Amino acid sequence: ATISVMDQKTVRPPHVLIFPLPLQGPVNSTIKLAELLCLSGLHITLLLTDHIHTKLLKYSNIQSRFSSYPGFHLETIPDGLPEDHPRSIDRFIEVLESLKTKSSILFKDLMTTDSRRPVTCIIADGTMGFTCDVANEIGIPIMYIRTISACCLWVFFCFPNLIESRELPFSGNDLDTPIKSIPGMEEFLRRRDLPLFCRFNLSDPNIKTYLSEGTENPRAHGLILNTFDDLEGPIVSQIRTFCPNLYTIGPLHAHLKLNLESFSSSPPSSNSLWKEDMSCIPWLDSQPSKSVLYVSFGSLAVMSKELWYGLVNSGSRFLWVIRRHSVLSEIIETPPELSKGTEERGCIVEWAPQEKVLAHGGVGGFLTHSGWNATLESVVEGVPMICWPYFLDQQVNSRFVGEVWKLGLDMKDTCDRVIVEKMVRELMEERKEEFRKSADEMAKLAKQCFMVGGSSYCNLQRLINDIKAM
């Protein structure tokens, strides 16, 4: 029996096909998982949609980055949409639908045509349920990865409870009404902390998409989460009641960075879909320690012009990412207040090397949309946050930042210039010691979790062993 197992292993070395959701946040963290698995010697095929692949080739060093891994291979498939489709977040359901109806055949072909390198395990984003159908049909084990927070994933799992208890849908505008039917969050969750689309009606396609999470995710052999137990342990335990085989291996970006250091390898690729403007780093070098507020709303959120006024009036130094077309109903132009004497204390770029910025000693706070990558990147570097969530998991994340982890202030739903100014002063001046203390403590825990014996370290080893045994 021993010989036949060995034979089997020589014929089929572990080969994982990894398929991220085609959006900046998930692409970024899932490629980091791909590299972590490459480092452990597994053969990896990274599958990207043509659209993401084209952007990555243009702005990131992914090609040269992975060329040092002999077992690495890149594949692409079309997402089935016309070239000029915006693939914007408000039409992302169309991307998902098209992938399901038009690309799943190609996805299946990919796995069945190359008999020299048979895929022994699939890791796909759990938002793309069709990947599990294909995997089951061809008999290849599949794991899901979710790149949102565990706390928001748990809210999605509980949608049926919310509907049954008539907490959803809600009408009226009392957004401070407590939410009681999400186990583990009874003490602090309010209507306004639910994903934004919950404020609209139940026929919203987003609600339909996320209503079946509790039945969809447990279909896979395992669920990989980009979080760590010291941050979201109690919520992860709740999810485990649905998906017993859970791997919390985050924060992925920092986990990878540490592993690369131990191989004396260069730092990870940026995985950026836009060109990073490095000029902000020398600018940061010239600023006093922890004096700069970094302002960025990720790749999808748009922002209000009130933020501009609030920030300028606060008198704080700032580094601001203003993506093209990301300001609500305004054409981008520098507000006059910015040009009047603020050049010295302000720097504006279209896209920043965010991980480097947050790790820079000049940065003392982060005004963020509370995207999950942004939140984890901030947690690891011990940077306190002001949260101005936009949609999806961000409303839940910002509640946890403000109320549970005490890592900053949740500005949710209030964004006039007076409040912005007040919160910036609070975070950067009046309460800075208090926030820095809790941010430092959490950063320490984040760094320990992927050291030998830490929770994310052990879970990654278990994941690798389980993949090898498949």
Reduced to 3 states, what is the DSSP secondary structure of residue 172? Answer: coil
Candidates 120, 209, 227, 299; binder of ligand UDP (CB under 6 A) is 299
Candidates 45, 354, 395, 455; binder of ligand UDP (CB under 6 A) is 354
Strands in 170-242 per DSSP E: 222-225
Candidates 125, 167, 213, 355; binder of ligand UDP (CB under 6 A) is 355
Minimum CB separation from ligand UDP for residue 404, in Å?
A: 19
Q: Nearest to residue 52, comparing CAs of 84, 30, 24?
A: 24
Residue 142 near residue 121 (C-beta atoms within 8 A): yes
Token duo for residue 238: 């709740």
The answer to whether residue 379 forms part of the interface with ligand UDP (CB under 6 A) is no
Candidates 220, 374, 401, 411; binder of ligand UDP (CB under 6 A) is 374
Residues in the chain: 470
CA distances from 382 to 83, 251, 358 (A): 41, 13, 9
The answer to whether residue 298 forms part of the interface with ligand UDP (CB under 6 A) is yes
| Footprint on residues 25-84 left by ligand UDP (CB under 6 A) | 25, 28
**Residue 164 main-chain phi, psi, to 5 deg:** -60, -40
Total binding residues toward ligand UDP, as defined by CB under 6 A:
20
Residue 347 near residue 276 (C-beta atoms within 8 A): no
The answer to whether residue 227 forms part of the interface with ligand UDP (CB under 6 A) is no
Residue 421 near residue 313 (C-beta atoms within 8 A): yes
168/256 with CB nearer ligand UDP = 256
Minimum CB separation from ligand UDP for residue 195, in Å?
A: 13
The answer to whether residue 272 forms part of the interface with ligand UDP (CB under 6 A) is yes
Candidates 122, 284, 321, 409; binder of ligand UDP (CB under 6 A) is 321
Residues 391, 387: Cα–Cα separation, whole Å: 12
Q: Nearest to residue 392, comparing CAs of 203, 195, 212, 127?
A: 195
Instruction: Give the range of 185-193, 283-291, 349-357, 425-433 binding ligand UDP by CB under 6 A.
Output: 349-357
Residues 6+ apart with CB under 8 A from 311: 293, 295, 318, 320, 367, 420, 421, 424
**Buried-exposed string 51-69: b where 16+ CB fall within 10 A, e elsewhere:** bbbebbeebbbbeebbeeb
Q: Whose CB is nearest to ligand UDP?
A: 371
Residues 391, 184: Cα–Cα separation, whole Å: 22
The answer to whether residue 217 forms part of the interface with ligand UDP (CB under 6 A) is no
Minimum CB separation from ligand UDP for residue 376, in Å?
A: 8
Hey, how many other C-beta atoms are within 10 angstroms of the C-beta on 282?
9
Instruction: Give the range of 74-82, 295-303, 380-388, 437-445 binding ligand UDP by CB under 6 A.
Output: 295-303
Minimum CB separation from ligand UDP for residue 469, in Å?
A: 32
287/296 with CB nearer ligand UDP = 296
The answer to whether residue 455 forms part of the interface with ligand UDP (CB under 6 A) is no
308/351 with CB nearer ligand UDP = 351
60/287 with CB nearer ligand UDP = 60
254/321 with CB nearer ligand UDP = 321
Instruction: Give the range of 163-171, 232-240, 278-286, 367-375 binding ligand UDP by CB under 6 A.
Output: 367-375
Residue 382 near residue 443 (C-beta atoms within 8 A): yes
Residues 6+ apart with CB under 8 A from 18: 30, 33, 34, 37, 44, 45, 46, 47, 122, 123, 124
Instruction: Give the range of 21-29, 53-61, 120-128, 424-432 binding ligand UDP by CB under 6 A.
Output: 21-29
**Residue 284 main-chain phi, psi, to 5 deg:** -60, -40
The answer to whether residue 127 forms part of the interface with ligand UDP (CB under 6 A) is no
28/30 with CB nearer ligand UDP = 28
Residues 329, 322: Cα–Cα separation, whole Å: 14
216/377 with CB nearer ligand UDP = 377
195/214 with CB nearer ligand UDP = 195
Instruction: Give the range of 19-27, 33-41, 45-53, 402-410 binding ligand UDP by CB under 6 A.
Output: 19-27
Residue 355 identity (one-letter amino acid): E
Minimum CB separation from ligand UDP for residue 331, in Å?
A: 20
The answer to whether residue 373 forms part of the interface with ligand UDP (CB under 6 A) is yes
Minimum CB separation from ligand UDP for residue 243, in Å?
A: 22
Residue 249 identity (one-letter amino acid): I
Residues that bind ligand UDP (CB under 6 A): 23-25, 28, 272, 296, 298-301, 321, 351-352, 354-355, 371-374, 377
